[in-house]
Amino acid sequence: MDIAFQALVDVLSPASIFFMLAGIFVSSTFVALPGFDTKLGLAILIPFIIYLEPVLALSLMVSTYAVSNTANSITSILFAVPGGSGSQATILDGYRMARQGKAGQALSASFTASAIGGIFGALFFLVFIPFMPSIILWFGPVEMLMLVFSGLLLIGALSGSHHYEGIALGLIGMILGTVGIHYTTGQPRFTMDNIYLMDGFHLIPVVMGLFAMPELISLYITNSTISKTGTNNEKTPVRDGVRKTFQNLKLIFQTSIIGTWIGFVPGLGAAITDWVAYAFCKSTLPNRENIGKGDVRGVIAIDAATNAKEGGALVPAMLFGLPGSSSVAILLSAFSIIGIQPGIALIIDTPKIPYVIFWIMVISTIITSVALLFMLPLFNKITVIRPEYLVPFLMLMITVGTYAVANSFYYIWAMMAFTVFGMWLKLHNLTRVPLLIGFLLGPIAERLLETSVQLHGWSLLYHPAVIGGLCTVFAVVLLFKRVVHK
């Protein structure tokens, strides 16, 4: 208890608070821009931490990392342009709410849920870090393959009554994920000898093309403001959003568990958290037919999960040096610069460090959410700007953001191709979500399948995890069918 208090005192020093605010500013700025994410912010900050004391360096780096999923909902909700990899699913309900004149409520709920989810993730990090080694070591490639496999089955759940088309789009997404050089053999696949396709399709052009551009086209066609009814629907947006968030504490708790779970399994892919949380809402909540049509629960659940994930992802990173994402990898390199080496010894020899990280995560999450709630009226005004003013700026933001991925126009043309496909799907009322989930999970599934086959050969088919996983999946599918038919 003394150590926890001592860590809190260190974190609340004026210098530490200053560096936390700097980290929050950098993170919020980068994640609010499409095409940019926390990775870049963390990388830019690394040279600044070399001469800093460990607590100050941790304040700067951990706060940048911890709040990365809070501000990225702003562009998702206001413009249907995902600010980062964890805010794609927020578009589905958040943007609809903005169009219904409830942008303030959506943003307020998003910031509050982010704070609660972030604190949950930090608590998870602190409480479970001593117990995690045995659990993580239990997770071999086969177990992870089964987790990914169950994620792929979510595709069926997300396709509603159109299972065939949904699963087919998921499989197409998986094939698109295989384009490029194969990671073990170096074999170029489906590249048609095009040098640009060697790296495969990047996530940003795919998301921009499938989601952001079709929504922008809608805005251009309808020639009305984002909010079709102005901001009159909202008398007290901050209070409404906060109230709705606290009314759904059970949902926040459930999706926070999902988020931390995905975060702490290394290699599962942090970008899928929002979609898993969305699928959870879509398949379990009462009145779930409203999810995806502007239901605040869709926003709350996703933001809680994506923020809780950060705490979960730090557990394997701190214990084994296993980064669950590229942001965590940069964070780990920053830790090594300031002399913090991940490992069990970290907890035994320097027990204050986990507490310092915990307090930074909690305090920076609260500061960010409160600051963004105060800025809500400003965000709300954006929803009533005329499209002829807004559309060119958004077009520019999307184009430059996509170009920024690798300073190449190839990515912009790839985005245009996905825009045409996304628009076709939208006009034919087909959901675009399975395509993206397949694209995200395909490469992970392939890697895990290869490792599992190399380790177990044909005996993989009767591995306990496979049999158990298949039985669970079968049971879930049956249950899901019953729920759908009801």
CB 481, min distance to other proteins, A: 16
Nearer to other proteins, 9 or 406 (CB): 406
User: How far apart (Å, rounded) are the C-alpha atoms in residues 242 and 296?
Assistant: 11
Nearer to other proteins, 112 or 159 (CB): 159
CB 174, min distance to other proteins, A: 5
Question: DSSP alpha helices (H): ranges in 352-408?
Answer: 352-374, 376-382, 387-403
User: How far apart (Å, rounded) are the C-alpha atoms in residues 104 and 231?
Assistant: 8
Calculate ∠ Cα 40-42-44, nearest 5°: 65
Could you tell me if 334 and 46 are in contact, meaning their C-beta atoms sit under 8 angstroms apart?
Answer: yes
Could you tell me if 30 and 36 are in contact, meaning their C-beta atoms sit under 8 angstroms apart?
Answer: yes
- Long-range CB pairs of 161-164, under 8 A, 24+ apart, other chains included: 161/484, 162/430, 162/431
Could you tell me if 461 and 154 are in contact, meaning their C-beta atoms sit under 8 angstroms apart?
Answer: no
Q: Of the candidates 347, 337, 370, which has an alpha carbon nearest to the alpha carbon of residue 61?
A: 337
Q: Of the candidates 325, 320, 319, which has an alpha carbon nearest to the alpha carbon of residue 306?
A: 325
Nearer to other proteins, 262 or 444 (CB): 444
CB 426, min distance to other proteins, A: 7
Nearer to other proteins, 336 or 454 (CB): 454
Please give the structure tokens belonging to residue 371: 């600051």
Nearer to other proteins, 120 or 410 (CB): 410
Ramachandran bin of 76, using left for φ above 0, alpha for ψ from -120 to 50, beta for the remaining angles = alpha
Please give the structure tokens belonging to residue 404: 């920024």
Nearer to other proteins, 119 or 430 (CB): 430
Nearer to other proteins, 223 or 236 (CB): 223
CB 476, min distance to other proteins, A: 17
CB 231, min distance to other proteins, A: 19
3-state SS class at 181: strand
User: How far apart (Å, rounded) are the C-alpha atoms in residues 367 and 67?
Assistant: 10
CB 344, min distance to other proteins, A: 35
Nearer to other proteins, 369 or 402 (CB): 402
CB 166, min distance to other proteins, A: 8
CB 92, min distance to other proteins, A: 4
Could you tell me if 60 and 45 are in contact, meaning their C-beta atoms sit under 8 angstroms apart?
Answer: yes
